[in-house]
Structure 1
């Protein structure tokens, strides 16, 4: 991946190509049929919708064609949950479905702006200044030469967001190369990519997943029905289902600690209460950004490998790094245009 002027790999840093990194990501993704095996929603429908949502991101299918194709099936499968929610693709200034098509569908015509406003999940308005000043497009740049694979980001994220067993918003993918004593290791941290063209938003039949103006893709737990179609639509394997587990066996009273996600106090974990039974994922620690703080993973990174900032500000460090010759995105061919960049 990184080399000296002579073309040799730098000590401890393998000369790994982007295709190899993309393959590491693909290995993290769940098998679609296994993921949907215990879900009441139709498995074949979910797989078809997920695959076509990825085609929309790649520009191979339009949003109009997508919802014209799946409107009847989604209405039959999800009933009122689908019919009573605003169509997920009608957005002022950024439409993936035309108003004409939306009005022909079985679901209510509306916009994702309305969905995000109704959710009322994010506390504050960013008016206090600092990193959450207001009009940013949030992006993260991760320097692979600085990542030491310590997993401090994983631990910090679990601690900050109180995620249950089986749910880790930040994982570090690892792969060893060579034989002792000539061994190198690839460490690739993988949060949610916060895609500009997110298949997870496209596929959601109830508009529970939505994209904010600041570039962050969030989830309305109260709207989510747990169909997991978005899990298999995500090209990065960055979504998880909350089965209701907790760490009470390891830490007494762990299930009583409230998660700060989205600035909503949901109280102790109880069966049948959100976020149990919902999809969960990294939100760039939206609740911290709104307080003018960095995400927990960025603040905790001991190698200073993670950088957070405004991609729309050409003078910001993050924008400059994302525009450098070292920068790349994972699985670029998917057309998702992630707001997470890596430095090789």
Structure 2
């Protein structure tokens, strides 16, 4: 006798539904555009229109030049000097949103974001040729939320701000039920609508693939929040966990390697939109993002997508690999394995 109980139930592996189901899960997490913008002092109608057209730019249905020629006067009227005095749209590098000729004809300044990008790069970090990406194996994710907790602890995010959420959904009927766990950080898109829509160039894409937010530029209009197809952006209302942890607002956040001191009303990042930056401060130290380091199921992997021999590059090129909401044209640097 083999000693094997052939009547026993076979071992079940996590179920990964089709991409349409996963994309629907993402949509369910997104904020309602009109409800979100109603909380701001800025035009809801303008924000919704700019966000929808920013997504069209990502999909290749509208050019960056046509986009800003369409919204230049409205943005200047709505945002005044905040729009006029900032280098928007960014025209430098491969990630340019408009041509220099078009930018020079707009009501905003023409300038480079290089100085801002340089301020969050470390001389002691990697050699500068990387394109950071992440691969998440959905067969390995057990839905423990350790990535969510690690991210909040690392980045000191306040109530209502969570860069890493794990979407969960059950499928089937008892007793044949499976659960899908889908971690969702910022996708660090190659064609990010959030960069396109920002009227003050507070959001910008770095050469290393990471999309960052300059808190000193951000005016909190939240147009980027509704332009993001993944619902991966949050507004900082200035709340703290003081009831749970005494003095929580006094702990300095390490984001972007900038020491901003204790959280205070009217001081960045309070009043700004915030998002996952793949723990840039850790990457610059040669460390993994906190969510990757903490993942108990080894489901998350981060590394250089430009290195064909790196683990993340090989996994991203595998037949199991896919991106969320591929039809949006955003080309995320976060991949999933089914």
TM interval, shorter chain, is over 0.9
TM-superposed deviation, 1:178: 2.0
C-alpha distance in 2 between matches for 1:28 and 1:82:
30
Task: Please give the per-residue CA displacement for 1:209-266, whole angstroms capped at 9, x wherever unaligned.
Answer: 0101100000000110000000000000000000011100001111110100001111
Conservation of the 8 A alpha-carbon contact between 2:137 and 2:336: yes
Superposed counterparts of 1:70-219, under 5 Å: 70-117=71-118, 120=119, 122=120, 124-127=122-125, 132-219=126-213
Superposed counterparts of 1:33-44, under 5 Å: 33-44=34-45
Conservation of the 8 A alpha-carbon contact between 1:115 and 1:207: no
Conservation of the 8 A alpha-carbon contact between 2:148 and 2:291: yes
C-alpha distance in 1 between matches for 2:11 and 2:148:
26
TM-superposed deviation, 1:10: 7.5
RMSD: 1.3
TM-superposed deviation, 1:61: 0.2
Gaps in structure 2 of 5+ consecutive residues: 1-9
SS at match of 2:14: coil
SS at match of 2:20: helix
Greater mean deviation of Cα atoms: 92-101 or 248-257 = 92-101
**Structure 1 counterpart of 2:284:** 290
Superposed counterparts of 1:296-311, under 5 Å: 296-311=290-305
TM-score, scaled relative to structure 2: 0.95
Conservation of the 8 A alpha-carbon contact between 2:193 and 2:228: yes
Distance 1:212 1:123, change over 3 A: closer
Gaps in structure 1 of 5+ consecutive residues: 1-8
C-alpha distance in 2 between matches for 1:224 and 1:93:
23
Conservation of the 8 A alpha-carbon contact between 1:12 and 1:185: no
C-alpha distance in 2 between matches for 1:10 and 1:17:
21
Conservation of the 8 A alpha-carbon contact between 1:175 and 1:187: yes
TM-superposed deviation, 1:277: 0.2
SS at match of 2:163: coil
C-alpha distance in 1 between matches for 2:149 and 2:127:
27
C-alpha distance in 2 between matches for 1:281 and 1:95:
21
Paired residue total: 329
TM-superposed deviation, 1:34: 0.7
TM-superposed deviation, 1:123: 5.4
TM-superposed deviation, 1:134: 2.7
User: Is 1:337–2:335 an aligned residue pair?
Assistant: no
SS at match of 1:196: coil
TM-superposed deviation, 1:111: 2.7
